[in-house]
Amino acid sequence: MESQVRGGTRWKRFAVVMVPSVAATAAIGVALAQGALAASFSVSGQSFKVTADRLDGTGFMQYGAIDQGYTLKGEKTAHPVAVSAFKSAQIKNMCQSVVTPDIPLIGSVSLMLKAGGGDTPVKAENLYIDVEDLEADATFRGIDIGVAAKDANKGPGIKKGDTTNPYGFSQQADSATLTGVKQTAWATTAGTFKLSGLKMSLSKGVKECY
C-alpha cells in the first residue's frame, strides 16, 4: 500500500523529519563527519530549520508528544511536537540552520551546516526528530494510520523519556520517501548519525536554510 501527501503538514498528520540541532552538531561536527557516533541534541529555547533534497527511510513511526525545556532566559517552556522516528534513514543535500539572537555587541549570529551534498548521503540509525512544521512531497509504503503508539511495531518504538500518551494516536509505515523537504524542529536523538561532506559556517545577521 502506498500513500502520497503533498504540501503543508500539521503535527498530528504526516511530519517526517530527520536531523539534529545545528548548535550541538557544530560542537562535534568533525567527529560525526569522520564516523558514526551516538547523538542526542536540542537547542534549548530555540527551534532550528532544515531542508533536504531527498530522504529515504525505513521502519517509520510517528506520535504526538510535548517537548519541555528552557528558554534562553532560563524560563520553563513546552512545545507540542510530532515525534517522527526511523530505524534507518539516508538524506541527500541536507542543510540546517539556527539563529542565536541578541548577542551583546554583535546582534544575531547564524550557524549553518550542510552535508550529504555529494555521492554519499547523510546516514542515521534509530533516529527521532521532534517536529513543529513540515513541507514535503511524501510517499509512504505499507502504512498503518491510527494505531496506539505503544502498539506501533514497524519503527524503533516510543523514545525513552518522551512525554506522550502511549495509548494515543500514532501511525507507522514500512518505508517512506520525502523530497523537497522544509521543516522546523526542536530536538533530535539518534543511535548513530554520520554527516558526509560536512561544511559549517558562522555569520552575523539572520541566514537560514529557507
Q: Is residue 120 part of a domain?
A: yes
Parent domain of 192: 2-158+166-204
Query: pTM for the full model?
Result: 0.80
Q: Is residue 127 part of a domain?
A: yes
Count of structural domains, the chain: 1
- DSSP lists the bridge partners of residue 109 as 100, 204
Q: Is residue 186 part of a domain?
A: yes
As a whole number of angstroms, the distance between CA 52 and CA 23 comes to 18
Q: Is residue 84 part of a domain?
A: yes
What band does 15 get if pLDDT is binned at 50, 70 and 90? very low
Q: Which amino acid is at 206?
A: V
pLDDT higher than 50, residue 28: no
pLDDT higher than 50, residue 93: yes
Q: Is residue 118 part of a domain?
A: yes
Q: Is residue 210 part of a domain?
A: no
Contact indicator for 83, 128 with CB cutoff of 8 Å: yes
